[in-house]
């Protein structure tokens, strides 16, 4: 048996933050954001909304889609960089809300690559028969970690959650190749230094805005394109396919120009590369599962299709997964 994706779901806040809204907050313009990123709007959680709420709704939709009862899930991995709180993990809070009384819940902390990290981790557990069902969720409320005085960062990120239920599928289907990697030498390309054991939370860290995400977008851009292209090729080679065999490529929705550059390096026509960045912005670990669910529900992916997913995020982290539906 292989591990496969049995069902998916997604959810996001009702609140919308448009480029016109941002023009009123920072020195930016719709024209700059659109041409540099492809983003037109992003979802924004209200003050009383938090990550696990979106995760639970996405997870319930995925469980219903898969026809799997929450009590039959044995592990819940919540990929998030924006947990509800430091302790306990968001995975545990989701486990409680779902009534998944036979599951271990925990978080995967791998920034925008978190969903593919989660998929990679449960893949072998299912393939080897250690567990029957896993729930992998990517969920973020990034707008609460974004510095709305930093125009190069605050225009990028949005909120949302996507989830997938995984279980055994016949050989030839499901996950055909998957790989995750990291390189901590690039830690300062995207980081939030405050609040941990290194700097702690002090008046000084708050005044320095160290609890917010800081990004060197330009440097990140190049590493992202290089890493996602390379690992995508590796996944295809490993499984013995070429890009021509792939129905759709779902890259992490970081920036439309990153997506276009990856497509060009892989020599995939743009029509075969999914993008929803105009509506959602960069939702970090939630971006791939949201996109995947949209593709499945819109009929862009049907049974038998080969789908290539690739992610890149702070750390830096990256990954690739090739799935036959």
Q: Which stretch binds ligand COA (CB under 6 A): 64-72, 123-131, 152-160, 259-267?
A: 152-160
Annotated active-site residue 295? The verdict is no
Minimal CB distance residue for ligand COA: 217
Give the pair of three-digit tokens for residue 253: 């929705």
Measured from the CB atom, the residue of 175 and 190 that comes closer to ligand COA is 190
167 by DSSP, 3-state: which?
strand
Annotated active-site residue 78? The verdict is no
Q: Which stretch binds ligand COA (CB under 6 A): 64-72, 220-228, 236-244, 301-309?
A: 220-228
Measured from the CB atom, the residue of 8 and 227 that comes closer to ligand COA is 227
Pick from 8, 37, 80, 178: which binds ligand COA (CB under 6 A)? 37
Q: Which helix (H) or strand (E) holds 18?
A: strand 16-18
C-beta of residue 90 within 8 angstroms of C-beta of residue 55: yes
Pick from 58, 63, 220, 296: which binds ligand COA (CB under 6 A)? 220
Cβ 282 to ligand COA, closest distance in Å? 6
Phi and psi at residue 280, to the nearest 5°? -110, -20
Query: What is the rounded CA–CA span in Å between residue 39 and residue 41?
Result: 6
Annotated active-site residue 10? The verdict is no
Q: Which of 92, 112, 154, 295 is catalytic?
A: 112
- Residue 313 within binding range of ligand COA, rule CB under 6 A: yes
C-beta of residue 3 within 8 angstroms of C-beta of residue 177: no
The reply to whether omega before 88 is within 30° of 0 (cis) is yes
Cα 274-177-228 angle, rounded to 5 deg: 45
Cβ 7 to ligand COA, closest distance in Å? 26
C-beta of residue 162 within 8 angstroms of C-beta of residue 309: no
Give the pair of three-digit tokens for residue 241: 């396919």
Pick from 18, 32, 191, 239: which binds ligand COA (CB under 6 A)? 32
C-beta of residue 117 within 8 angstroms of C-beta of residue 318: no
- Residue 195 within binding range of ligand COA, rule CB under 6 A: no
What is the binding site for ligand COA (CB under 6 A)? 28, 32-33, 36-37, 112, 151-152, 155-156, 190, 215, 217-218, 220-221, 224, 254-255, 258, 282, 312-313
Active site residue ranges: 112, 252, 282
């Amino acid at each position: 048996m292989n591990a496969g994706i049995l069902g998916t779901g997604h959810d996001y806040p009702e609140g919308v933050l448009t480029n016109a809204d941002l023009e009123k907050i920072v020195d930016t313009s719709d024209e700059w954001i659109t041409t540099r990123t492809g983003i037109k709007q992003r979802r924004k959680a209200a003050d009383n909304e938090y990550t696990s709420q979106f995760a639970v709704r996405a997870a319930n939709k995925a469980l219903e889609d898969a026809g799997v009862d929450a009590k039959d899930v044995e592990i819940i991995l919540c990929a998030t960089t924006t947990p509800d709180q430091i302790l306990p993990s968001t995975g545990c809070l989701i486990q409680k809300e779902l009534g998944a009384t036979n599951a271990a819940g925990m978080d995967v902390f791998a920034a925008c690559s978190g969903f593919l990290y989660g998929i990679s981790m449960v893949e072998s557990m299912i393939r080897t028969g250690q567990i029957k069902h896993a729930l992998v969720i990517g969920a973020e409320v990034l707008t609460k970690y974004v510095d709305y005085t930093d125009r190069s960062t605050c225009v990028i990120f949005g909120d949302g959650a996507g989830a997938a239920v995984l279980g055994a599928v016949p050989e030839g289907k499901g996950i055909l190749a998957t790989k995750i990697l990291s390189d901590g030498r690039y830690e300062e390309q995207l980081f939030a230094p405050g609040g941990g054991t290194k700097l702690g939370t002090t008046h000084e860290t708050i005044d320095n805005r160290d609890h917010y995400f800081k990004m060197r977008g330009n440097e990140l851009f190049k590493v992202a394109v290089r890493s996602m292209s390379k690992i995508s090729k590796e996944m295809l080679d490993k499984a013995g396919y070429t890009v021509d065999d792939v129905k759709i490529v779902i890259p992490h929705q970081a920036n439309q120009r990153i997506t276009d550059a990856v497509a060009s390096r892989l020599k995939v026509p743009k029509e075969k590369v999914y993008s929803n960045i105009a509506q959602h912005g960069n939702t970090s670990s939630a971006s791939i599962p949201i996109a995947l669910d949209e593709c499945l529900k819109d009929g862009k992916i049907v049974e038998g299709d080969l789908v290539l997913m690739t992610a890149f995020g702070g750390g830096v982290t990256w990954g690739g997964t090739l799935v036959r539906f």
